[in-house]
């Protein structure tokens, strides 16, 4: 048997909330490998501030949460999936409490045990949180449990290159057999075989120049699933978080929507409020409305930022509820308790992704996708605040149950072909990688961001066509590096976003085209579904 092939029951690619939650549950029944591109905890979950939405208050209802989600999703949510996720909210929160996630409690004995925030789009307080570092508390709790589990094997600093499928090997019945994986520490490619493979790789914020996402969010899962033959859906719907801190040294730091839920106001440079001109809900409007309003005001005034101000609230309240944000702002010379701080929108969440069913299953048997990498139908054309971590935990549970039922019947994976690099050489032109990486992110920001036009989208398509061909040639001639893997992936994801945006001849949710400003009849609303394997020539 080849020396660098590893066999597991379940391979989880990604180590955020969804991946670790599934790994922890399925490890009671199977041997599990968890892949992380960097340190295990380094991902979007770690930086999630706001919290997790669920119906926990006696004055809240399932129907209300469903209605709010459908409204935010602008006619493209799958109502059956929305109800499925919302109905499993309370039990998901209870599971997290049971494994030790320390959510913030109310100081008074009366009322609900846990403090609940209200955020944009929600009609009730239903955001359970751990101060303003919910993601960090959640991720650290999960990581500690996963690290101590004897049947979970962690591979940090490992990047998935491509999925291995039976169809690629000429087998009659297709299924996912595992993945080729680049070991960043030892600079070589391994084969990880698995009876079941789960993509939990997060989103694609790094396709854009300005993003709240950490550096590892390069759309890897979406890209490798697309190359394997999975459909992707609604890639035009990229959510831009309205309020990232504007400072040259404040990389990827967002100011939680919970600030606005607790009364923070958005102001123009002259101190005037402006959101009332765009939506009656003002600061509590959904993110797409708030981000477009900020973008429009910045362009109107030629300003690089607007301000967010919560200084009218008591100092102790601000520090107690937002200790991380308060401390981080102080590092950059801004005091939340005494005055406004400059903010700007940035790419934050990928609402589209790999098409899945309610079990997290993709188009390929044995391959699952959960969390931000997927398109479940929950978010539609716009994700409502704090529904994302809920989706992670709910679909981790449903995928776990689906895999558990099929473990005994799924045969072990046969020995697979080794990674072949006999025809490639070491690159002597790394500048090509860095230049193309920078060019893609810049023209995606300029042409395919908050407000779009068909002309800009066509320009972006022309550029990505040329770059994609150049990157493919480079990839075929040189040994892979982590930067090259990520560049190849963001080029594909950028192409999917551009094509999806061109195909939608309306403005809906997060997709706004000035040439098609109206939203079509809800009865005719359709998902944008692409199959890269079948449509690559048309897309490029």
Catalytic residue among 193, 227, 287, 504: 287
Which 8-state DSSP code applies to residue 333? T
CA-based nearest residue to 242, from 342, 310, 327: 342
Return the SS3 of 72: helix
H/E element holding 324?
helix 323-331
CA–CA distance, 379 with 285 (Å, rounded to integer): 16
Q: CA 177, 179, 185 angle in degrees (round to 5)? A: 150
CA–CA distance, 376 with 202 (Å, rounded to integer): 14
* CA 459 vs CA 161, 454, 499, 513: distances in Å: 29, 9, 12, 14
Which 8-state DSSP code applies to residue 37? S
Q: CA 437, 442, 445 angle in degrees (round to 5)? A: 130
CA–CA distance, 56 with 126 (Å, rounded to integer): 6
Using CA atoms of 469, 470, 472, 477 in order, give the dihedral in degrees to the nearest 10: 140
Q: CA 348, 205, 507 angle in degrees (round to 5)? A: 65
* Sign of the alpha-carbon torsion through 438, 200, 76, 135: negative
**287 in active site:** yes
Phi, psi of 76 (to 5 degrees): -115, 5
Which 8-state DSSP code applies to residue 258? H
CA-based nearest residue to 152, from 35, 18, 2: 35
Return the SS3 of 349: strand
Q: Name 469's bridge partners.
A: none
CA–CA distance, 371 with 34 (Å, rounded to integer): 15
Show which residues are catalytic: 287
């Amino acid at each position: 048997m080849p020396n660098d092939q590893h066999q597991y029951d379940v391979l989880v690619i990604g180590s955020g909330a969804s991946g670790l939650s599934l790994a922890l549950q399925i490890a009671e029944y199977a041997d599990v490998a968890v892949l992380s591109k960097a340190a295990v905890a380094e991902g979007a979950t770690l930086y999630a501030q706001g919290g997790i939405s669920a119906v926990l208050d006696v004055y809240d209802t399932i129907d209300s949460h469903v209605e709010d989600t459908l409204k935010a999703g602008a006619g493209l949510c799958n109502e059956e999936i929305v109800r499925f996720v919302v109905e499993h909210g309370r039990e998901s929160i209870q599971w997290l409490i049971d494994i030790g996630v320390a959510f913030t409690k109310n100081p008074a004995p009366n009322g609900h045990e846990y403090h609940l925030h209200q955020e944009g789009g929600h009609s009730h307080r239903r955001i359970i949180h751990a101060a303003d570092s919910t993601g960090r508390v959640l991720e650290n709790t999960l990581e500690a449990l996963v690290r101590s589990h004897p049947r979970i094997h962690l591979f940090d600093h490992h990047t998935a290159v491509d999925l291995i499928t039976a169809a690629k090997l000429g087998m009659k019945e297709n299924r996912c057999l595992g993945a080729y994986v680049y070991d960043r520490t030892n600079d070589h490619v391994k084969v990880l075989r698995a009876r079941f493979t789960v993509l939990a790789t997060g989103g694609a914020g790094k396709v854009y120049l300005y993003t709240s996402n950490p550096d590892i969010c390069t759309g890897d899962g979406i890209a490798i699933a697309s190359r394997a033959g999975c459909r992707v859906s609604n890639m035009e719907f990229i959510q831009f978080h309205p309020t990232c801190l504007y400072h040259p040294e404040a990389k990827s730091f967002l100011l939680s929507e919970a600030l606005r839920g607790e009364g923070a106001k958005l102001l123009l440079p002259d101190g005037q409020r402006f959101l009332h001109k765009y939506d009656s809900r003002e600061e509590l409007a959904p993110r797409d409305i708030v981000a477009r309003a900020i973008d429009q005001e910045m362009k109107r005034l030629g300003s690089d930022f607007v301000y967010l101000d919560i200084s009218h609230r008591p100092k102790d309240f601000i520090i107690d509820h937002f200790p991380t944000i308060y401390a981080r702002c102080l590092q950059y010379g801004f005091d939340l308790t005494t005055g406004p701080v400059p903010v700007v929108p940035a790419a934050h969440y990928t609402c589209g992704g790999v098409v899945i069913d309610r079990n997290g299953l993709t188009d390929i048997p044995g391959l699952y996708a959960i969390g931000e990498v997927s398109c479940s139908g929950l978010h539609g054309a716009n994700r409502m605040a704090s529904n994302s971590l809920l989706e992670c935990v709910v679909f981790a549970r449903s995928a776990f149950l689906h895999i558990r039922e099929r473990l005994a019947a799924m045969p072990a994976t046969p020995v697979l072909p080794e990674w072949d690099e006999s025809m490639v050489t070491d690159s002597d032109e790394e500048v090509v990688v860095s230049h193309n990486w920078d060019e893609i992110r810049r023209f995606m920001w300029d042409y395919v961001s908050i407000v779009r036009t068909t002309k800009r989208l066509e320009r972006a398509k022309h550029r990505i066509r040329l770059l994609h061909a150049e990157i493919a040639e480079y990839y075929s001639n040189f040994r892979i590096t982590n930067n090259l893997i990520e560049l190849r992936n963001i080029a594909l994801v950028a192409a999917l976003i551009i094509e999806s945006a061109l195909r939608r001849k309306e403005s809906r949710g997060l997709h706004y085209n000035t040439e098609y400003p109206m939203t079509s009849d809800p009865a005719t609303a359709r998902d944008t579904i692409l199959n890269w394997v079948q449509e690559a020539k048309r897309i490029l």
